Structure 1
Amino acid sequence: MKKKRNLSILFGASLVLAILAHLFFLKEWTQGQYMVGPNDGLQQMMTFKKLLYEQYTSGNFFYAYQYGLGGGTYSQLAFYFSTSFVFIITAVLVFLLEWIHLIETPDIVFWAKAAVFISICRLTLIIFMTTYVFRYMKCNWLSAFIGAGVYGLSIMYYRHVTYWEFFSDAFLWVPLLVFGVEKIIREGRVGWFIVAMAITLFNNFYFAYVNIIFIVIYIIFRWLIQLESNETSRRSQLKLYVSGGLISFGISAVAFIPAVYGFLNNYRPSYPYAIKSFDFSDNILFLSAYVIVPALVLLFLFTFSLYKMKTFRLFAIMSAVFIFFHFSPFVASAFNGFSAPQYRWEYLLSFTMGGAVAVGLQYVNKISKKGIGLSSIIVISLYLVVCYLDESLPIASFPVISILCLLIATITLLFLFIWKRNRPRYLLLHIGVLLTCVLLANVYQYAISEAGSVQKVTKSYLLSDRYNGKEQRELLQKVKEQDAGSFYRIDWKVGYLNNTPIVQDFNGISAYSSILNQDILFFYLYDLNIDMGRESVSRYATLGNRANLYSLFQGKYMMREKGNPASVPYGFKELMESEHYTVYQNSNVLPFVRTTKQVFSEKDLENAPVLKRERAMLEGVIVANLDRTNANLHDVPNIINKTSIETVGASYKNNKLSVNEKEGGIDLIIDKPDMATRDYYVSFHLESLAKSQGFALKVNDYRTTRKHNQSIYKTFVDDLVIRVPKANKISIRVPRGKYILRDLALYKENYHTLETAKKTATKKSQVNWVDNKLTITYNNQNNDRYMMLPIPFEKGWELSINDEQQPLKKVNYAFLGFPIKDGINEIKLVYYPPFFKISLAVTLISILLTLLIIRRGKGKKEQRRKRPISGVCAGLSRRR
């Protein structure tokens, strides 16, 4: 009863502390401003929550045609929320509130409003669980609570929640993992370790990787620093870690395996630059964006008498090691899968610092005046030296003054207690430390709100034409009312907001996510060289204003701001307009289901220009891993030799372009324009020789941007193809600088192939698509060989034709296709996440095995309880 009462008090205290730690954003919430970053926070976090909530509550757990060009959300969004326990629990609660009509159908505004309250609930659990773990490690309740506050209220928590909310879930599982390890070490019980590992692996594969690295390091330190005299032997521990880890992996398999496959099926170019071993430029005492080391932590680290306490020694040495790791980009790369350095792991340092504070406060009464005096001198000297050496940080700046004030306040509280050790001063010290954490947390929230532009995320912004304007939504609704079809796509996004289709509820042609279908990315980057208007490894958008591609892949409508008709592809006619926007309709869009006799080998088109590949897809189908082509294609001649090149504000020689004016480049003057030509395709290889300067490229009226050479988001794909409406001159313009410009080529397109494909297209199929199941009835009367669908190819699709299982093919570089039979074809396509069925079986078997182990363990415990009783009874009978 007392234990339940203590836990209830702890939970209440954790909730109060979590609320105090969000005071700034709670105040902002009352003024219509939200705890959401303006970039990834809005473009990904809130957007994917909206998408997944709508899917899950409608019973669709696996696939969304609306996601980019279509994709498996369970696998591709596992990096975000699709398997997140916090999101799943939140979604259930929100659904219940919606079901009983306490809230309206959740939209982006709802999720933005809810962000701060979800964060408070999450932080409450973090503080509660961490306190319990520190308490289990023999800290008193108050010290454990303060240590948990140091961990939970670290600046990285607010950075993660605001910009990349799902990152912050990782804070929950670290104390749980440590608890599981300590249970094995102290009691030889593996249950909690299995639970912690299974949750970690299920919840998010990326942070499972980070957390497992941490827990391995923790186990090594625990083997080196034994805290109890009767700990489980290392051999027995190792057996429990391995067996528990395998069972945990089995339990989590249904989420972990599809998620890892989604990650492996993504494409990120390898980081091409050397990674430094060390970089000491980040100021972790005053102004780091990742972690601020609390003054109390440093004061305890330099109080050498505390190292006699083994638990303090454990956390202090680990904190020192992780502080050292912080300054190593190589370590940051290792925690990021040995790719580009990313400092997402710093919450682990916050946990060990929290542990050091908890144990240090537990034994603060053992610190001598001399010990704290020496520690204070060292720490004050360290702060002053760091302040002096950091030339970017003026001594009179707010960060310096505020941090030094907190340092002086902390030292004063310590001296007050150590000079006169009594209960009131002991409590004052703890309250003071807690208040400094709360103050620092709220100051940091203010800092990211101002410097990180979080303050612009307001309700008015979310409903403005910069994000989700009423005029935009109404015009899109008119399109949907006029065309009740399910499969057409609308090319529209607000600025660089590639996930606009999800926000505004239509099928679009863009996506922004860290995990995308590799085949789609290759389709854009390498196979068709489609320029997206913005270079990025984690985005795709539009179809390069190329009419052939729009017609092939259901690009039926295009919405654009008024004033730029040059960006509208051939064959698109004005359909409707509003005050600021115009909708165009594609008059040459091809059917959703297409069939053909003509089959082209991907290998045979390996060196063909992209225009020839487009025409091959219009005339037939391009199939990967095919031995030979059964049809012929007309060559597409390169007419670059029929143009003359003139420089403008630049010099161009030996493939090197030097622009010496604000903007310059070359003009391609077309000698004798063909009357039948509608568009030109100009292709070239373009590299900037500047080390870290991005630039804008203009080709006539078309504009795109290229990343600088040091960017971790650069594709390093510098072969570009730009569609240009027919003109006598093609101008290529870049800003002042030096570039490599080579492999110039020019092709003309008259769209005869497209128009022929449109005239000969048939619409004899019946299509029905519900969630992850697609059925097609097609009468193949023309003896066609292949059917092609504008659905991205990915592992997980299963095909049966007339109730017979058939293999699927990757066709047209990235899409679904398959051979068909003569006559009636009853086609059924079903999508499940990759390896879903086998991983589900592994999960169920592992859960069953775990239950059997638990039952067996309980049986043995019962036998041990009965043995003394039976022994006593036997003794009594013998006496008789």
Structure 2
Amino acid sequence: MKKTVFLFAISSFAISVIAHSFFLIEWANDRYMTGNGDGLAQMIVFKSFLYDQYKNGSFFYSYSFGLGGGIYSQLGYYFTTSFVYIASFAAVFLMQIMHLAGDADTLFWAQAAVFISVVKLGLIILIASYAFHYMVKHKLAAFTGAVLYGTSVIYFRHTVFWEFFSDAMLWLPLLVAGAEKIIREKRTGLFITACSLTLFSNFYFAYINLIFIAIYVIFRWLIRLDEQEETRWKQFRLFAVSCLISFGISAVSFVPAVYGFLNNLRPPYDQAVALYDFTDNILFSSRIILLPSVFLLFLFVFSFYKNKTFRLFAGISVLLVILHYSPLAASVFNGFSAPQNRFEYLLAFTIGGAIAIGIKELKNISRKEILYSSLLVLFIYIAAIWHKDLDLSLVKNWSILVLLFLTIAAFAAAGIKYKKAHLLLHGCLLASAVLVANTYQKYVLSEASDIKSVTKSYLTSNEYNGEEQRELLENMKKDDGGDQYTRIDWMNGVRNNTPLIQHFNGFSAYSSILNQHLLLFYWKDLQIDMERESVSRYATMGDRANLYSLLYGKYYMTEKENAPDVPYGFEKTDESEHYAVYKNKYTLPFIRTAKTVFTEKDLAEAPVLAKEHAMLEGIVLENHQEKEQPPQISNLIGQTKIKTKGARYQNGVLEVTAEKGGIDLIPESGLPNEGDYYVEFYLKSLAKDQFFNLQINDYVTSRKSNQSIYKTGIYDLTIRVPKAEKISIRLPKGKYKLDNLNLYQEDYQTLKKAAAKNAPKADMSWEQNKLSISYENKSGDRYMVLPIPYEKGWELMVNGKKQDVEKANYSFIGFSIEKGDNDIQLVYYPPYFKATLAITIISLAAGIWYSRRRKKLGS
């Protein structure tokens, strides 16, 4: 047994290295195995960020993640509890201790990506070999099937673009083997382990894997493989108890992550989802799944169906092929949201199983079946070529045809029982698997998807993380006297996670899961334009000085070329060849106290400028018995002329007839002495599918198409415009709903008054997830507000008494304080952390007891 395991392990990792040949050669030339989209914007960024967090003992919260947030709940979708990442962290940490690795920055993780993938793929092949061998009882067949599963194109697609996606391929074979252990032996230990691992590691792919296991078990109940199998009812009870224990074991990770997902804000997908879409060619050119020709050859050997295990895997495979062509199924696997083809690794697994069984059954095949199957498969490939009109000059398509004929030849030789022909077939299948994998890496990933642009020179350039930018950021930190809470508005292009890359506190974040209170703050409450509409991002403060001051924004950095109008009250303090730095003259203190209380309800219909003034004058709470009247702001739209330019505007509909046109707003009151305008309006394109840019004077922001799955569904906009004689709203040719125009003037007297107040004298320290404040309330203020986002998980003690944290200023932490001395302790834990930790410990003990009990009963 030890020799067999050793041989499987060596073979698995050898195949993994060969399957990565292309990217290993690319690594030697300083080109890396990570996507130039989310790979550079999220994957290597979050890995670098979490490494620093974990290394410093900060496991739960980070002030630097966007405007601040819990990393368990908001990054649980990515790497927070991923066992692959945790193992990577441990390995890198040990390497640093032994001085074998330098800083674990984004460049490091990009360089390490191919080696992590080699190890992960080796483990996937090894685990799948175990699962297939348990069912097939043929070592080489099990290994070959596992290789075809592990090296499937979807593994490389997922690993390159969204690295954690492919982690699910580790746990799937364990789940199937665990399910078989329950069905055949009534033993639950492996299933509980596998189910706990997948639930703990990633809730999203646990959802997909458990859907598959449910389908698998249903098929198994229809296709009994062993007469000694327990009754379905008893199996159901074993599965139910095992799943319950598994959910309990994973609770400490699973519950906070799911809470973060539910606390996210994403508009419902309101577009029609088609039942079927047959555009993808899974024989030649699919980017998601390519069917091995041997699978089709085996599928048409009808004597194979006498083998129940082949019938099982072939039946599930055919079902999953059908589902691959259904956007509705893709939506179901994506949580009933927008269709996403992320589940096809399930198909790769069942195909691997079918091939493993088919290889074992070759001894029973007839020559007639070889001929019929080969002709049918050739006909299918010819039909695919004719139907899709493929360009066979492409090397990748020619290679698939060559592999097809080689596979048919090896299949025929093995079936006719030539000496050692079985080894020829195995060799052909293994060689074709690694060849397809490397061909896919080169032509589909590196060239067609431009992964070749992810180079060392790019990752150290000003386009991503340049030295010139880092020097200016260091200068800001020195100028600020080392204030660790200062926020800087700087984003490199459209990379919202720039603050994580360059290690500063910023105003932007890009993650699939974000704090819904912050998203509402941007989208609805304050209508802050981010210069780019997106459901999974937030950025900047819309160049609105009041908001920068309220959220401790001291610095603003921008490119000199095409530099925008900086926010009011920011003065240039530093510059380099390509960038300029501005400092806020009116920054408010990090800790603010207030007597005056406004409520969200009373401000609901007020313009956003009135809401800003309310936050500057006091504090805004959701509900409060004593409340002030909202600040009054004059609407200038009644004293403003509206003129069209290259457009027609009537009854709230703007039809732009020129290539670029719109309306001009000309205030009759004349140019203000200082300050800005705030222009509010409703804007929606009436085109079915049109991405467009909105320009207001020099300010440009982009809006998604109505067909985009990433549109916010928010059409009420507020744009800050520096003082000017006219406000020009420009749009590309088309028809738009443009309504509810309002215009306000901001002279910043309220901001200046707030900044002139004496800052509260308070001592503050923040270590990991604990914030301590010592404050003497001499002025008798009733509330304290902090620029820390409100979210579930914060616990508050004031002078030793437990107290509720309130949502203040729409999205931040507020709480009542007492007269005189206030000893304030704020501690953050992931939502339901203490309760779920207790459940995990109890369930782990229960799982060990239950598994041992079932093992004794089974034996």
Q: What TM-score do you get using the length of structure 1 for normalisation?
A: 0.96
Amino acid at match of 2:507: I
Cα distance in 1 between the residues matched to 2:353 and 2:84: 25
In the TM superposition, what whole-angstrom CA distance separates every residue of 1:688-737 from its partner, at most 9, and x where no partner exists?
12222211111111111111111111101011111000000111111121
Matched, 1:27 2:17: no
Cα distance in 2 between the residues matched to 1:537 and 1:860: 52
Aligned to 2:314: 316
- Give the unaligned 5+ runs of structure 2: none
Query: Is the contact made by 2:208 and 2:343 (CA closer than 8 Å) also made in structure 1?
Result: yes
In the TM superposition, what whole-angstrom CA distance separates every residue of 1:120-166 from its partner, at most 9, and x where no partner exists?
00000000010111111034111111100111011100000000000
Cα distance in 2 between the residues matched to 1:811 and 1:363: 68
Matched, 1:671 2:668: yes
Cα distance in 2 between the residues matched to 1:858 and 1:740: 68
Aligned to 1:739: 736
Cα distance, 1:311 vs structure 2: 0.5
Aligned to 2:426: 430
* Cα 1:658–1:399 shift into 2, 3 Å: farther
Query: Is the contact made by 1:601 and 1:628 (CA closer than 8 Å) also made in structure 2?
Result: no
Query: Is the contact made by 1:33 and 1:458 (CA closer than 8 Å) also made in structure 2?
Result: yes
Aligned to 2:692: 695
Cα distance in 2 between the residues matched to 1:565 and 1:17: 52
Cα distance in 1 between the residues matched to 2:225 and 2:418: 27
Matched, 1:723 2:720: yes
1:765-844 maps to which residues of 2 (within 5 A)?
Answer: 765-844=762-841
Cα distance, 1:395 vs structure 2: 4.8
Aligned to 2:373: 375
Query: Is the contact made by 1:677 and 1:748 (CA closer than 8 Å) also made in structure 2?
Result: no
Amino acid at match of 1:253: A
Instruction: Select which of 429, 439, 457 maps to 2:454.
Output: 457
* Cα 1:32–1:845 shift into 2, 3 Å: same
More displaced, 4-13 or 668-677?
Answer: 668-677
Query: Is the contact made by 1:417 and 1:426 (CA closer than 8 Å) also made in structure 2?
Result: yes
Cα distance, 1:860 vs structure 2: 6.8
Amino acid at match of 2:156: Y
Aligned to 2:11: 13
Cα distance in 1 between the residues matched to 2:254 and 2:842: 15
1:601-680 maps to which residues of 2 (within 5 A)?
Answer: 601-627=599-625, 629=627, 631-680=628-677
Aligned to 1:144: 142
1:139-178 maps to which residues of 2 (within 5 A)?
Answer: 139-178=137-176
Query: Is the contact made by 1:139 and 1:359 (CA closer than 8 Å) also made in structure 2?
Result: no
Cα distance in 1 between the residues matched to 2:423 and 2:625: 79
In the TM superposition, what whole-angstrom CA distance separates every residue of 1:402-458 from its partner, at most 9, and x where no partner exists?
3222211211111222234322x2101110011111111001101211111111111
Aligned to 2:345: 347
Cα distance, 1:396 vs structure 2: 4.5
Query: Is the contact made by 2:136 and 2:356 (CA closer than 8 Å) also made in structure 1?
Result: no
Amino acid at match of 1:440: V
Cα distance in 2 between the residues matched to 1:138 and 1:659: 67
Cα distance, 1:624 vs structure 2: 0.6
1:51-130 maps to which residues of 2 (within 5 A)?
Answer: 51-130=49-128
Residue 512 of structure 2 aligns to a residue whose secondary structure is coil
Cα distance in 2 between the residues matched to 1:774 and 1:658: 54
Aligned to 2:550: 552
Aligned to 2:301: 303
* Cα 1:339–1:5 shift into 2, 3 Å: same
Query: Is the contact made by 1:602 and 1:626 (CA closer than 8 Å) also made in structure 2?
Result: no
Cα distance in 2 between the residues matched to 1:490 and 1:465: 18
- 4+ aligned runs moved over 6 Å, structure 1: 858-861
Query: Is the contact made by 1:498 and 1:512 (CA closer than 8 Å) also made in structure 2?
Result: yes
Aligned to 2:283: 285
Identity, % of aligned pairs?
Answer: 54
Query: Is the contact made by 1:699 and 1:733 (CA closer than 8 Å) also made in structure 2?
Result: yes
Query: Is the contact made by 2:192 and 2:243 (CA closer than 8 Å) also made in structure 1?
Result: yes
RMSD (CA atoms): 1.3
Matched, 1:704 2:688: no
Instruction: Select which of 505, 530, 533 maps to 2:531.
Output: 533
1:373-452 maps to which residues of 2 (within 5 A)?
Answer: 373-391=371-389, 393-423=390-420, 425-446=421-442, 447-452=444-449
Residue 250 of structure 2 aligns to a residue whose secondary structure is helix
Matched, 1:253 2:264: no
Cα distance in 1 between the residues matched to 2:39 and 2:857: 51
Amino acid at match of 1:439: L
Query: Is the contact made by 1:25 and 1:35 (CA closer than 8 Å) also made in structure 2?
Result: yes
Cα distance, 1:621 vs structure 2: 0.6
Query: Is the contact made by 2:598 and 2:630 (CA closer than 8 Å) also made in structure 1?
Result: no
Query: Is the contact made by 1:601 and 1:627 (CA closer than 8 Å) also made in structure 2?
Result: no
Cα distance, 1:628 vs structure 2: 5.0
Amino acid at match of 2:126: F
Residue 462 of structure 2 aligns to a residue whose secondary structure is coil
Query: Is the contact made by 2:670 and 2:725 (CA closer than 8 Å) also made in structure 1?
Result: yes
Query: Is the contact made by 1:131 and 1:144 (CA closer than 8 Å) also made in structure 2?
Result: yes
Aligned to 1:133: 131
More displaced, 360-369 or 461-470?
Answer: 360-369
* Cα 1:326–1:575 shift into 2, 3 Å: same
Cα distance in 2 between the residues matched to 1:544 and 1:281: 42
More displaced, 5-14 or 102-111?
Answer: 102-111
Query: Is the contact made by 1:487 and 1:507 (CA closer than 8 Å) also made in structure 2?
Result: yes
Cα distance in 2 between the residues matched to 1:694 and 1:788: 39
Cα distance in 2 between the residues matched to 1:715 and 1:657: 22
Amino acid at match of 1:451: A
Aligned to 1:848: 845
Cα distance in 2 between the residues matched to 1:818 and 1:83: 32
Cα distance, 1:549 vs structure 2: 0.1
Aligned to 2:517: 519
In the TM superposition, what whole-angstrom CA distance separates every residue of 1:157-194 from its partner, at most 9, and x where no partner exists?
00000000000000001000001000011111011111
Cα distance in 2 between the residues matched to 1:854 and 1:695: 59
- Give the unaligned 5+ runs of structure 1: 865-880
Cα distance, 1:366 vs structure 2: 1.6
Cα distance, 1:398 vs structure 2: 4.1
1:676-687 maps to which residues of 2 (within 5 A)?
Answer: 676-687=673-684
Cα distance, 1:373 vs structure 2: 1.2
More displaced, 681-690 or 88-97?
Answer: 681-690
Query: Is the contact made by 1:139 and 1:358 (CA closer than 8 Å) also made in structure 2?
Result: no
Query: Is the contact made by 1:590 and 1:761 (CA closer than 8 Å) also made in structure 2?
Result: no
Query: Is the contact made by 2:602 and 2:630 (CA closer than 8 Å) also made in structure 1?
Result: no
In the TM superposition, what whole-angstrom CA distance separates every residue of 1:221-275 from its partner, at most 9, and x where no partner exists?
0000111111122121111101111111111111001110011000110001111
Cα distance, 1:74 vs structure 2: 1.4
Instruction: Select which of 741, 753, 758 maps to 1:756.
Output: 753
Amino acid at match of 1:520: L
In the TM superposition, what whole-angstrom CA distance separates every residue of 1:554-579 from its partner, at most 9, and x where no partner exists?
11101111144543100001111111
Amino acid at match of 1:33: R
Query: Alignment length, in residue pairs?
Result: 857
Cα distance in 2 between the residues matched to 1:709 and 1:761: 49
Q: What TM-score do you get using the length of structure 2 for normalisation?
A: 0.98
